[in-house]
Amino acid sequence: MIKNTKQNYLNHPRGIMSWLLTVDHKRIGLMYLVSGILFFFMGGLLALVMRFELAAPGNDIISNEIYNNAYTLHGAIMIFLFIIPAIPGALGNILLPLMVGAKDVAFPRLNLASFYIYSFGALFALYTIVNGGVDTGWTFYTPYSTQSSSNVVPMTLGIFIIGFSSILTGLNFIATVHKMRIPGLTWYKLPLFVWALYGTSLVQITATPVLAITMVLLMLERFLGIGIFDPALGGDPVLYQHFFWFYSHPAVYIMILPAFGIISEIIPVHSRKKIWGYKFIAYSTLSIAFIGFLVWGHHMFTSGQSVFSQIVFSFITYFVGIPTGVKIFSWILTMYKGQVSFTPPMLYALAFLFLFTIGGLTGIFLGAVALDIHLHDTYFVVAHFHYVMQGGTIVAFLGGLHHWWPKSFGVMYNQTIANIAALGVFIGFNGTFFPQFLLGLRGMPRRYATYDEQFVELHSYSTFWSGILGISIFIAVMNLFWSFMKKNKVDPGSNPWGGMTLEWTHTSSPPHPHNFEEEPVLQHGPYDYDKVIVQKTYKK
């Protein structure tokens, strides 16, 4: 079925211009991947600088002002330059058309435009860094953000521009899922990663415009003093928070839904078992996307809200737990009595299950008004957020990279090193962030460059393990790129994990420039391990 062809999207056509002007979704995905990883390292270094500053109380390494810049840039880079654009942009771009059997996304040129809009927006963010940073926190709360003399405008302009990229990618993916599927590939036969990207894209096209307009209003507030967010001019700073979180809460689901999709692919393949509760997982994706729009007020329990709205937002927040729980249990039941193999992708998926569950459950703590008023703006929030975003999204992203690496690039990494790195990520992550729950419970506020003596032990512990975490991630990523540089090739027809989706069964590794030699004909569902035997094939 898969022809042994020498021609693939990486080597055909050749030349730098064939990359810069490519409309091939796989090449665009690779460009997103490279830029995403660069920003990931940049944001990660900032995190380590902060952690080492916090190893002991007092200003040991950096000043308060630089610390303020560090956490703002860490947040803004990780969220707006890495997680939101790069995960759907990289894995989504490479895989979505392959998974639906299409030759490309619905609008390939628009796809390239998205990448350049993202790059253009990123330039503003980089300008912010070289021009002295920005110190408002990634949330740009008014009134401080309208008064701060740091680079609020370049940063928010960058985010505004990147928003367009996000919207256009979302539009493209939605149209692709609706209209580009091969005949016979009905909605319920789609891989769950496609459902996840679909849910993500829906949120991208509906929430991002509100962020765009909020950023415009913030910039106008600075330029013209329009008064909308400024109490001195008759406006309301809390309205800014409503606008911001109306986007940024759904944006949390832009960040986590693709991760859910990755886990839904890794677990059945590496357990060689049909996914449990396909429709539950598919619909829980859509319900999370929907409920996500109704809970933004839970970020604002201490911002001056009526008790009635607090209760309503708190109540709806709990509802997010239902579809999320449905997913977790479905994944666990998928593994039950399966042939679980401890490959690097599976290790990341297992790590995800532990870490994301802790992140999700502590989210319920924070959704409870009374508890949130105690925990608001403490390290408890920091820990919760990182358990979801890093323990959830980034761990899943690393798992997805390891899962699809041989498919996307036709090379295999050293699996032993990958396993050790995955273990290091898991231990280092818990060591870094679990103490932060305790710090938060004891009242350590977030966004401070120094702290009281009583917190020394937990802070130094967190710093020590953050080093292990950083080194582990570095090793994991280098191990991947090393295999690429060393050209540690796999056979183009290989299917090392025994995947059943179209990208494994119907195209070579790396895929053909036009994805498939001929249009694939669907022979089985994405997880029919109970009906069809797919051999694991892996030849050098």
Partner 1 sequence: MAHHNPDAPSHLKHYFHDVNQQYETSKFAMWAFILTEVLTFAGLFVAYIVYRSWYPDMFVDAHKLLDVNKGLMNTIVLITSSLTMALAIWAIQKNNKKLSVFMLLATFIFALVFLGIKFLEYSHKFEVGQLPGEFYSYMGPDAVHLNNPHIFFSIYFIMTGLHGLHVAIGMGLIAWLVYSTQKGNLTSEYYTPMEMIGIFWHLVDLIWIYLFPLFYLIG
Tell me the closest approach of the beta carbon of residue 208 to partner 1, in angstroms.
Answer: 8
Contact 101, 20 (CB under 8 A): no
Q: Residues 64, 66, 71, 73: what is their CA dihedral angle, to the nearest 10 degrees?
A: 160
What gap in Å lies between CA 380 and CA 385, rounded to an integer? Answer: 9
Minimal distance in Å, beta carbon 28 to partner 1?
14
Residue among 13 and 132 whose Cβ is closer to partner 1: 13
Q: Does residue 15 interact with partner 1 by CB under 8 A?
A: no
Task: State the binding string over 486-525 for partner 1 (x if CB under 8 A, else -).
Answer: ----------------------------x-----------
> How far apart are CB 512 and partner 1 at their closest, in Å?
12
CB 510 within 8 A of CB 10: yes
CB of residue 376 to partner 1, shortest distance in Å: 24
Size of site (CB under 8 A) for partner 1 = 40
At 146, list the tokens.
Answer: 């309208």
Phi, psi (rounded to 5 degrees) for 536:
-80, 120
Chain-centre distance of CA 53, in angstroms?
Answer: 27
- Nearest CA to 163 out of 124, 220, 109 is that of 124
**Interaction with partner 1 in 430-489: which residues (CB under 8 A)?**
none
Structure-block tokens of residue 237: 């700073």
Determine which helix (DSSP H) or strand (DSSP E) holds 335, and give its type and residue range. helix 307-335
Q: Closest distance between partner 1 and the C-beta of residue 96, in Å?
A: 13
- Contact assessment for residue 125 and residue 62, using Cβ atoms and an 8 Å cutoff: no
To partner 1, the closest distance from the beta carbon of 476 in angstroms equals 34
Q: Least CB distance from residue 221 to partner 1, whole Å? A: 8
Q: Is the peptide bond before 510 cis (omega within 30 degrees of 0)?
A: yes
Select from 133, 137, 227, 443 the one that contacts partner 1 (CB under 8 A). 227
Which 107-146 positions form the footprint of partner 1 (CB under 8 A)?
Answer: 107-108
**Which one of 17, 234, 453, 530 is in contact with partner 1 (CB under 8 A)?**
234
- Residue in 82, 115, 124, 243 binding partner 1, rule: CB under 8 A: 243
DSSP string, 219-267: HHHHHH---SS-GGGT--HHHHHHHHHHHHHHHHHHHHHHHHHHHHHHH
User: Which 287-326 residues touch partner 1, going by CB under 8 A?
Assistant: none
Nearer residue to partner 1 within complex by CB, 74 or 506: 506
220 binds partner 1 (CB under 8 A): yes
User: What does the chain come to in residues?
Assistant: 540
CB of residue 110 to partner 1, shortest distance in Å: 9
Q: What is the smallest separation between the CB atom of 537 and partner 1, expressed in angstroms?
A: 29
Q: Taking CB under 8 A as the rule, does residue 421 contact partner 1?
A: no
- The gap from C-alpha 44 to its chain's centroid, in whole angstroms, comes to 14
Question: Contact at 8 Å (CB) between 180 and 517?
Answer: no
Binding track, positions 180-209, relative to partner 1; x by CB under 8 A? x------------------------xxxxx
Do residues 249 and 173 touch, judged by C-beta distance below 8 A? no
Q: Between 114 and 494, whose beta carbon lies closer to partner 1?
A: 114
Distances (CA, A) of 265 to 229, 261, 270, 317: 44, 6, 9, 27
Residue 167 or 349 with smaller CB distance to partner 1: 167
Pairwise CA distance, residues 82 & 292, whole Å: 21
Q: Residue 85 corresponds to which tokens in the numbers above? A: 């654009």
Q: Which of residues 157-176 bind partner 1 (CB under 8 A)?
A: 167, 171-172, 174-175
By the rule CB under 8 A, 102 interacts with partner 1: yes
C-alpha 224: how far from chain center = 35
Which residue among 31, 46, 95, 106 contacts partner 1 (CB under 8 A)?
106
From the list 330, 188, 319, 206, the residue with the least C-alpha distance to 260 is 330
Sole window of 142-150, 231-239, 296-304, 431-439 interacting with partner 1 (rule: CB under 8 A): 231-239
Query: DSSP label at 101?
Result: T
- Alpha-carbon distance of 224 to 250, in angstroms, equals 29
179 binds partner 1 (CB under 8 A): yes
Interface with partner 1, residue 103, by CB under 8 A = yes
Q: Which two tokens stand for residue 388?
A: 């979801």
The answer to whether 210 contacts partner 1 (rule: CB under 8 A) is yes
Residues binding partner 1 (CB under 8 A): 102-104, 106-108, 167, 171-172, 174-175, 178-180, 205-210, 212-214, 216-217, 220-221, 224-228, 233-236, 239, 243, 246, 514
